A and B are shown apart, each in its own frame.
Chain A
Amino acid sequence: MASAASAIDARGVSKVFKGAGQDEVRALDNVSVAIRENEFFTLLGPSGCGKTTLLRLIAGFDFPTEGEILLHGENIALLPPYKRPVNTVFQNYALFPHMTVGQNIAFGLEMLGKPRDEINARVTEMLKLVRMEDLRDRRTSQISGGQQQRVALARALAPRPKVLLLDEPLSALDYKLRKDMQIELKRLQHDTGITFIFVTHDQEEALTMSDRIAVMSKGKILQVGAPHDIYVRPADRFVANFIGETNFLVGRIASEKAGKAKVELAAGGTLSADAPDRGAPRGSEVTIVVRPENATLVPSGKGDIAGVVENVVYFGTDTHVHLKLADGSQFIVRQQNATLASDDYKPGQKAGIAVAPGTPRILKD
């Protein structure tokens, strides 16, 4: 009874690796996620969070200890990789070194037993799609890293998979090329209409490319949502911390009215934010997050919170001002340089922090 709209539907998937001796590693812990058709879906998390394990289970290189993986409603969890209409772009590309670019791209189609003419036409089409028409007869060792990346993409897309898996494919490229490939990947996903599942530890990459992101940690999915949702409404401390820079403030609920809660901060001052769904009893301790770009520096005595400037870091487009608050915690304010003169604030100086209304979030902890 799978919903037809799901390309991949993982249900209660766990993967336990038997380590050396008696240790067991629970790489995935009862993970459930539904990935929609034609979606650019990103699994984001630090190394060891289980994102690659989940990808390998979808590809068929490993099998889940528990749970099922549905592909368009059919359980594929125990099928070998060559029986799954799913292709992978590997982190190191894994191009066949004894074949030309064209032969690499043709490989999957040959294995599917497609006729010669069809294969040739499809290879031409794929080379055109990744803008590599001239390099069809080159050896894979004779082309650059960025070109190898494109061949790996073309090879994986050629058999028209239902889902394309990408395992940190951009990590080996330099900064400029990585930026270009991000746009290129987005274009390919749009042009082909294939569901992309992209694995990365780079939050910026995830935010710029994805339709939806699943943030993972320690074998669990912590939050699934659109980039904007995840950035603006992080579910917990880990997500808030992992995506972008964040200030964490500890406080107590002072009052709650019409879904808005007033929080008295340990560092002094009050902030108001949407009350947590579970309700907010008065006096309960909460953590509140404020993004650095939602705070501005104001003269001492004004604003919502008071602090002392510790450090001023210049970033070209903007400046990060690190402050110490009354309770000893750190607070970072990011201000565009267009609105801040470089010598406005100096270490040791007292300053006020004004927080844009509506931006603070109370974490559900």
Chain B
Amino acid sequence: MATKLRTFDVKAQPGFGTVAMICFFMLYLPIAILVIYAFNAGENIAIWEGLSLRWFVSAWHNDTVQEAAFRSLFLATVASTIATVVAAMAAIATTRTPPYRGLTFKYAMINQPLMVPEIVTAVSLLIVFSRFKVWTGYNGLGYMVLAHTAFCIPFAYLPIRARLENMDLTLERAAADLYATPWQAFRRVTLPLLVPGIIAGFMLAFVISLDDVVITEFVKSGGQETLPTYMLGQLRRTVTPEINAIATVFLALSVLLVTLFYLVNRKKT
């Protein structure tokens, strides 16, 4: 038996396995319970009465749920599309430039929504938008789109910037050498190579928008429930496994997107 000497391996520390198991348990047990009870036949989210899909069916036929789900998807699609376009432009502007004073400050500004507590953003938007609502009389989804776009930008920005930074700059130089104008070089070389980063950024932004509660709760007008705020509202009343069913579908969708994000990112590296 070969014994490794003096190489530190955290896995060899006593109790490592146990701690790891407890962590995973604490993380995934509640989710597992939630998913299991989504298939409960009974009316209660804590008493198991047999296997059934009735709550999925019930959620599917619930007009309020449907409406909120569509609103959520619409919002996520529009906000993450705009966010991705803005983020891509920001990423190109901050990577395809010689370093200058203030560049780090710009990184910080772009990533600011990641740093500032969400509740602060939420309250400030509430105040600003309520003024706008009074002045303009407009109460539509536009405010939500704006708010979601704003906090989605850094999530779209990070993978796009990472991709740009890892790109071989001689490729753009080669394009210029072969008579491509800066725009043609961007269009024919940089952009196609950037696509995986753009897709990754979009999907990340999409997921973030889809399950936002705090900012949405503060910014939404009456009748603008998204799926997460609808669920939050339901929890204040009688709770049925319908909530579990909706959460389970949500979870499946998120896992699917994150998996795609992972696969897209891995394929090209």
Contact = CB atoms under 8 A, between A and B. Distances in A.
Interface residues of A, number: 24
Interface in A65-104: 80-83, 86-88, 90, 92, 94-98
A61 interface: yes
B176 A81 contact: yes
B258 interface: no
A82 B179 contact: yes
Contacts of A251: none
B90 interface: no
B177 interface: yes
Interface centre among B180, B181, B192 (most CB of A within 10 A): B180
B177 A88 contact: yes
A97 B179 CA distance: 18
A214 B168 CA distance: 30
B173 A81 contact: yes
Contact of B171 (A59, A86, A87, A96): A96
Interface string B184-211: 1100110011000000000000000000
A1 interface: no
Given A96-B189, A97-B193, A98-B193, A108 B178 contact: yes
B175 interface: yes
A111 interface: yes
A111 B180 contact: yes
A111 B189 CA distance: 12
Contacts of A88: 174, 177
A94 B176 CA distance: 12
Interface string B161-174: 00000001011011
A87 B176 contact: no
Contacts of B173: 61, 81, 90, 94
A164 to B, nearest CB: 11
Given A61-B173, A98-B193, A155 B168 contact: no
Contacts of B177: 59-61, 81-82, 86-88, 156
Nearest to B170: A94
Interface string B83-110: 0000000000000000000000000000
A112 interface: yes
A107 interface: yes
A352 to B, nearest CB: 55
Nearest to B179: A111
Contact of A94 (B168, B180, B181, B188): B168
Interface in A109-128: 111-112
A150 to B, nearest CB: 16
- The SS class assigned to the B binding surface is helix
Interface in B4-23: none
A227 interface: no
Contacts of A95: 174
A111 B178 contact: yes
Contact of B178 (A61, A97, A107): A107
B179 A112 contact: yes
Contacts of A98: 192-193
B179 A80 contact: no
Contact of A82 (B171, B180, B188, B189): B180
A99 to B, nearest CB: 9
Contacts of B174: 88, 90, 94-96
A304 B189 CA distance: 65
B179 to A, nearest CB: 4
A169 interface: no
Nearest to A103: B188
Nearest to B172: A94
Contacts of B189: 96
Contacts of A111: 175, 178-181, 184
A159 interface: yes
A87 B178 CA distance: 7
A83 B180 CA distance: 9
Interface string A45-60: 0000000000000011
9 contacts: A61-B173, A86-B177, A87-B177, A90-B170, A92-B168, A96-B174, A98-B192, A155-B178, A156-B177
Given A80-B176, A87-B178, A95-B174, 15 more contacts: A59-B177, A61-B177, A82-B176, A82-B181, A83-B179, A86-B177, A90-B174, A94-B170, A94-B173, A94-B174, A96-B174, A96-B189, A98-B193, A111-B180, A159-B178
Which 6 pairs from chain A and chain B are nearest by CB? Answer: A108-B178, A111-B179, A94-B174, A94-B170, A81-B176, A111-B180
Interface of A: 59-61, 80-83, 86-88, 90, 92, 94-98, 107-108, 111-112, 155-156, 159
